Amino acid sequence: MEYRVKSSIPAKQRSGCMVIGIYESRKLGSTAKQINQVCDGQLAAVLKHGDMDGKPGKSLMLYNLPGLGCERVLLVGCGKEKKLDAASFGKIFSTASKTLEDGGTTHATFYLSELTVKGWNSQRKISQAIVACESARYRFDQLKSKSSAPKRPLKSITLNVDSRDLAAAKHGLIAGQAIANGMGLTRDLSNLPGNICTPSYLASQARKLGKQHSKLSIRILEEAEMKKLGMGALLSVSRGSRQPAKLITLDYKGARKSDKPVVLVGKGLTFDAGGISIKPAQAMDEMKYDMCGGATVMGVMCAVAEIGLPINLVGVIPSSENLPDGDANKPGDIVTSMSGQTIEILNTDAEGRLILCDALTYCARYKPDVVIDLATLTGACIVALGHQTQAVLGNNEPLIKDLLKAGEQVGDRAWQLPLWEEYQQQLDSNFADMANIGGRTAGTITAACFLSRYTKDYNWAHMDIAGTAWVSGANKGATGRPVPLLMQYLIDRAG
């Protein structure tokens, strides 16, 4: 699929389909007015008849309006003009691209000048439009014997903007396509089942990414090296699995060597059965998504390298399975982490923090400016914030503020939970420096408390993406979140 930006007037449009937004007020915007004039008031007549009420998610295809050079005009509902935000903006583009593709339109031109979201410039508008279209068109059918692709797929979308916005729009074009590609990679990796997407598979995909981008170098640490480094927590999880653990590092150099990097750490648990503290059978298949944090890191690295952002960025993905086995962790086992701190494993299903803590200790060697970890860490996070919002906690308020703001800007929102000292005591253990669980209450916070004990030497934020990284139910699948939030954060940083 090809995206272009352009500046021209609708009356000159000769082919394909014109897409224009209609607000609930049904007042004609400037593009609609021009079209209405050319077609002798036909557009206003359609709206007057009430066939299109402008509600979000609604669309109406019009054919052969008199006087127009192009055959089709698609009207898309935009809701209330004052209420247009990141989410409703995205909805306009997902509705439009699905309708176009279902109807067999191959070339479409979107007129964007009427659509304004508070705080957005043309660059943001274009990149968000592309991300929304590509997210809606995403399919995962590589494991079906018949493809579910439409017979006449969309071939090109032209995004029409005011001529004075053209330069900014071109930046948005590059960013939007890269972010959409990154999200596609994240979703593909996440949707793959545990028997295909193993730690070794993730490592091979990282190597592949490294071959595609000259500024990106990959290093995979094997179990023997992890043992030398003393990663007793991470290795205790993989001991119960026949798949060897991997510690995947991706190093992107887009700025001067002396610039301190951002380090992203992603939980790459390719299947979480719970271990000896085994999970119930119900929906256990969804635990193939326990590597979404790692897949997010891969997607972001891919997008950053594609744009060529002038920053230094490191990705670290501890990857393992968590299965029951004769050699698996047992409740009560005590292991020693790379930091030297000992951990009493009271529940083998709280394994994410065990693989993350060693990765978090390891990443201090990159002398990071900030470290952000992404993890499908706790079911409690879904109880607290649902599937709409990811949790963010950490030891550095400015970093947390920046992440919250980035998510708000692109409709990939996070919400801060407290990481106050008084929660730490829930991790007390009679036999080791800490327990790996903190009891029934405040599960997301005590998980972050656990991680906080390994991140004291740098600025750190933790995002629990258990609720946002995928959806269950009829449309079960990975969402690609929080790639948009992280990309916005990194783009803002790059200036």
CA dihedral over 371, 250, 345, 283, signed as positive or negative: positive
Distance, CA of 63 to chain centre: 37
Q: Which is nearer to Mn ion, 90 or 443 (CB)?
A: 443
In the list 114, 290, 402, 464, the residue contacting Zn ion (rule: CB under 5 A) is 290
Neighbour-count burial for 240-259, b at 16+ CB within 10 Å, e otherwise: bbebbbbbbbbbbbbbeeee
In the list 44, 379, 408, 471, the residue contacting ligand BES (rule: CB under 6 A) is 379
Name the segment binding Zn ion (CB under 5 A); options: 235-243, 289-297, 308-316, 405-413.
Answer: 289-297
Please tell me which residue in 353, 413, 453, 481 is annotated as part of the active site: 353
| 478 sits near ligand BES (criterion: CB under 6 A) | no
Closest-by-Cβ residue to Zn ion is 272
Distance of alpha carbon 2 from alpha carbon 109, whole angstroms: 12
Q: How far is the CB of 375 from Zn ion (least distance, A)?
A: 8
The answer to whether 245 touches 297, Cβ cutoff 8 Å, is no
Name the segment binding ligand BES (CB under 6 A); options: 55-63, 83-91, 230-238, 372-380.
Answer: 372-380
Q: How far is the CB of 195 from ligand BES (least distance, A)?
A: 18
Q: Considering only CA atoms, which of 297, 208, 306 is closest in space to residue 483?
A: 297
| 274 sits near Zn ion (criterion: CB under 5 A) | no
Q: Considering only CA atoms, which of 153, 19, 128 is closest in space to residue 485?
A: 128
| 352 sits near ligand BES (criterion: CB under 6 A) | yes
Q: Which of residues 262-281 bind ligand BES (CB under 6 A)?
A: 272
Return the SS3 of 429.
coil
Q: How far is the CB of 281 from Zn ion (least distance, A)?
A: 16
Q: Which is nearer to Zn ion, 290 or 373 (CB)?
A: 290
| 272 sits near Mn ion (criterion: CB under 5 A) | yes
Distance of alpha carbon 473 from alpha carbon 80, whole angstroms: 30
Give catalytic status of residue 139 as yes or no.
Answer: no
Q: Which is nearer to Zn ion, 310 or 439 (CB)?
A: 439
Distance of alpha carbon 108 from alpha carbon 243, whole angstroms: 47
Give catalytic status of residue 124 as yes or no.
Answer: no
Q: Considering only CA atoms, which of 222, 215, 332, 292 is closest in space to residue 466?
A: 292
Specify whether the backbone of 57 is left (phi greater than 0), alpha (psi in -120 to 50) or beta: left
Pick what 165 binds: Zn ion, Mn ion, ligand BES, none; C-beta below 5 to 8 Å, kind-dependent: none
In the list 378, 395, 426, 452, the residue contacting ligand BES (rule: CB under 6 A) is 378
Neighbour-count burial for 134-153, b at 16+ CB within 10 Å, e otherwise: bbbbbeeeeeeeeeeeeeee
| 380 sits near ligand BES (criterion: CB under 6 A) | yes
Q: How far is the CB of 40 from ligand BES (least distance, A)?
A: 57
The answer to whether 357 touches 367, Cβ cutoff 8 Å, is no
Q: How far is the CB of 477 from ligand BES (least distance, A)?
A: 14
Pick what 316 binds: Mn ion, ligand BES, Zn ion, none; C-beta below 5 to 8 Å, kind-dependent: none
**399-404, long-range: CB within 8 Å, 24+ apart, which pairs?**
399/370, 399/372, 399/459, 399/460, 399/461, 400/461, 402/489, 402/492, 402/493, 403/372, 403/461, 403/463, 403/485, 403/489
Q: Which is nearer to Mn ion, 180 or 292 (CB)?
A: 292
Please tell me which residue in 207, 215, 239, 279 is annotated as part of the active site: 279
Q: Which is nearer to ligand BES, 423 or 458 (CB)?
A: 423
Q: What are phi and psi of 178, to 5 degrees?
A: -65, -45
Q: What single-letter amino acid sits at 348?
A: T
Q: Which residues bind ligand BES (CB under 6 A)?
A: 272, 290, 347, 349-352, 376-380, 437, 443, 466
Please give the residue ranges that form the binding site for Mn ion (CB under 5 A). Answer: 272, 349, 351
Active site (catalytic) residues: 279, 353
